[in-house]
Amino acid sequence: MQRRIEIRAADGHMFEAWRADPSGAAKGGVVVLHAVYGLTDHIGDVCARWAQAGYAAVAPALYDRRGRGVVHSYSRAGADAGIASYEALTQAEIFADVSACADAVRSAGRVAISGFCTGGTWAWRAAASLPFDAQVNFYGSHVPAHLDLPQPLPTIMHYGDSDPIMPMDKIQSIAARHPDVEICIYPSAGHAFCNPEQATYDASAAEEAWRRSFAFLERHFGR
């Protein structure tokens, strides 16, 4: 079961986070970065799902840097506000919180970075710079702007072929630049297809994405 905790970053900033732990011995850890809407209940459910699969999972409230408890609505206005919230943060601030979360689950073993939408973009950026062991990326929305970043980690990415934010030509640009990245395409799925709180939720695609994600970490963490 997921729960709210507090974590202190290296610069002294205290922030909230969702955390969930497996009932038995952990197979590893996962740090989950939220989409533009903030640390929603959905992200808590994501942590719980990782825990059910055997991983210690933690997700930082990145917007706590600018105000406690900031969560935006699932709407165009909410998305715009979320974009502004993310843009108000520096890379140093985000990486400090991400690193603190990684430290919080490091005792579980190898640690993966994961993220949704803009959080997926930040997972991509963190994978290039921070000491993670794998990346599980759900429809990272601005990854093509960061194709020059090295991706030294085993990486799996999930995209719907009907995503208006990440059309197929952009997805193909990732594959062309980073051929070692495993990119999974879901027919007729749009953006945020893994989130049951949003209208674009696609249960079949979501279940397949989770199945592939668990199998991916089993392959790379089970060695």
| pLDDT single digits (tens) 106-126 | 999 999 999 999 999 999 999
Per-residue pLDDT band for 209 (boundaries 50, 70, 90) equals: very high
pTM: 0.97
pLDDT for position 40:
98
Per-residue pLDDT band for 46 (boundaries 50, 70, 90) equals: very high
d(C-alpha 120, C-alpha 139), whole Å: 6
Residues in CB range of 41: below 8 A, 6 or more apart:
197
Q: Is the Cβ–Cβ distance between 10 and 99 less than 8 Å? A: yes
pLDDT for position 222:
80
Interhelix angle 118-129/91-105, rounded to 10 degrees, is: 80
Cα 29 to the center of its chain, rounded Å: 13
Work out whether the CA dihedral 132, 117, 87, 10 comes out positive or negative.
Answer: negative
Domains and CATH numbers, the chain: 3-221 (3.40.50.1820)
Assess whether pLDDT exceeds 80 at residue 223.
no
The HSE-up count of residue 184 (CA atoms within 13 Å, CB side) is: 20
- Helix residue ranges, H only, the chain: 41-52, 76-87, 91-105, 118-129, 168-177, 203-221
Q: Is the Cβ–Cβ distance between 28 and 113 less than 8 Å? A: no
Interhelix angle 76-87/118-129, rounded to 10 degrees, is: 20
Strand pairing class (14-20; 55-60): antiparallel
